[in-house]
Every structure is written in structure tokens, then in C-alpha cells.
Amino acid sequence: MFTLLILSLIFQTSISVTAATIKPTYFARVMYDDVYLYRSPTDNDDMANLYFKLPVTYFVELYDSYDQNFYCARYMGFEGYVKKDMVQAIIGRPSMPYLSVNFRVYDERSRDMRKLPTTSGGSESQVYYLPCPEQNLTLIGTIEGDTVIEKRTNIWYFCKYSGEEDYYGYIYSDDCDDGNGNTISWQNNNEIVTYTENVNFNISEQNESLPQDNKTISIIVAMLSVPAIIFVILLFKGSKLVTKERKQPAREVKDY
């Protein structure tokens, strides 16, 4: 019984690891400006339905097809939807899939982190009131929202603030810079990649076209399982021999 339990656990572990690695995902390059990560798979560009604009030439991870118009997608931990005709899938993983930009808030008017890129909603829509000046901010994406300062920009940054804990929200961009007084900017991602039209999220049809690293994990798990099974069998046989020896009656020692 003990042996069967061990073998069952080993087998189940092997199967679960293998199954976890065969669900395909793809990285896709953002091909145009004004490509958004949507909160719901509807062609509605209202700010309440948008997370942020994805930076052109960088990548979003696709993990399923919702319908003929939208992919289910992730970007830096945020799950949403992206229009299929705005991105192009690639083979493999890019070396730098996501934009990496840190910035500073240096004035009072941009320290109010909010749930949406608008000042409406008062304290109920406020996420956090940032210290000022503050540099522990990571840019995730941009979006158009309210113009807080008259005749100035309407661009907000969706970002992460790392304080005593992490906060995510929208900050008005006008009083932000790179920490040295310069306007926040970034370079395009010019990494050379191989594009593909073969985007298939069907597990049963994807086994033969798994990424090489996923196949390798499955092979390693299988190789490790075999010696483990042999060890358990030998251990069980050894324990039976010991038990058998113990059950034999002690030999009588005659005194001649």
C-alpha cells in the first residue's frame, strides 16, 4: 500500500508539471501607436475601459484568443485584452519585452495617484497621495485623461509606486521628469525577432510545437521519475526481506 501511494504521488507530480508546461503563450510586438490594453473585450475607447496605451515596438504576452477581434493578454502583470490587428506574434521570448522607465514627481499637482486618469470622484477615486518630490516610480503605460492644468497636457502615466508597499494608479504627467529635470522619454525596441502567423492556443494540437524549454522540463521530470520509482521498489523489496528474516524462528544452539 505504501509503495502504491509513493508511485501515485510521483506519477501525479510528473503529469502535473508536464501539463503545466504545454499551455502555449506567445509574445506579440505592438505594431502601432495608440494600441491599448483593454479592461473588457469591447471596442470602447472610454477611459473606464482602458488600462493604458502599450508602448509601440515593445511586447505583450498573449495567453488565449477571446474572439475574432481580441486576444487575452498580459503586460507587466496586468491582464486584459488587445486587438488582434494591432499586434504581431513572434517566435520565442524577446530579451526585453517590456518598457523599463523610472521617473520622478517633483510638484504638488502630480502627486495625487488615482484609479482613473481624472480628478473626478474626489477621495473615493484616490489610490495614494505621494510624497513630493518622489522618485520611486515605474512607468507602465500612458493614457489620455483630464487636463489638470489649463492649456497643458492631458497625458497621464499609469505607474507603480514602491513605498512601504506597492501602489498602482494614474498620475498626471505634467509635473514629472526623469529625475534630472528632463522630459520623460524612451527609445524604441529595435530587437530583431521572427514573426509568426501560427498562433494556436489549443493544447491538444500544440504538443509537437511546444517551445524547446517546455519540452526540456517534461523530459527532465520523466528522467527523474524513473530512478525514483526504481528506488522505491528496491526499498520495498529490502523491507520485505528484513521482515521475512525476522519472522523465521531462532535456531536452537545445542550444547554438546
Number of domains the chain is built from: 3
pLDDT number for residue 256: 38
Asked whether residue 231 falls in the same domain as residue 105, the answer is no
Q: Tell me, what's the pLDDT at 151?
A: 84
4 within domain boundaries:
yes
pLDDT at 23: 74
User: Are 44 and 164 found together in one domain?
Assistant: no
The per-residue pLDDT for range 102-156, each reduced to its tens digit, is 999 999 889 999 999 998 888 889 999 999 999 999 999 999 999 988 888 999 9
Q: 61 and 172: one domain? A: no
Is 182 contained in some domain?
Answer: no
- What's residue 149's pLDDT? 87
Within 13 A of 242's CA, how many CA atoms are on the CB side?
6
| In a domain? residue 249 | no
| pLDDT tens, position by position, 9-45 | 454 554 444 444 567 899 999 999 999 999 999 999 9
54 or 236: which leads in pLDDT: 54
pLDDT in tens, 166-217: 999 999 999 999 999 999 999 999 999 999 999 999 864 444 444 544 544 4
Query: How many other CB atoms are there within 10 angstroms of residue 61's CB atom?
Result: 19
Same domain, 164 and 196: no
**What whole-number distance in Å separates Cα of residue 37 and Cα of residue 185?**
20
Full-model pTM: 0.71
Same domain flag for 46 and 82: yes
CATH number, domain with residue 42: 2.30.30.40
| Same domain for 169 and 111 | yes
- Same domain for 5 and 39? no
On the question of pLDDT at 229 being above 50, the answer is: yes
Range(s) of the domain holding residue 2: 1-22+210-243
Which residue would you say has higher pLDDT here, 152 or 90? 90
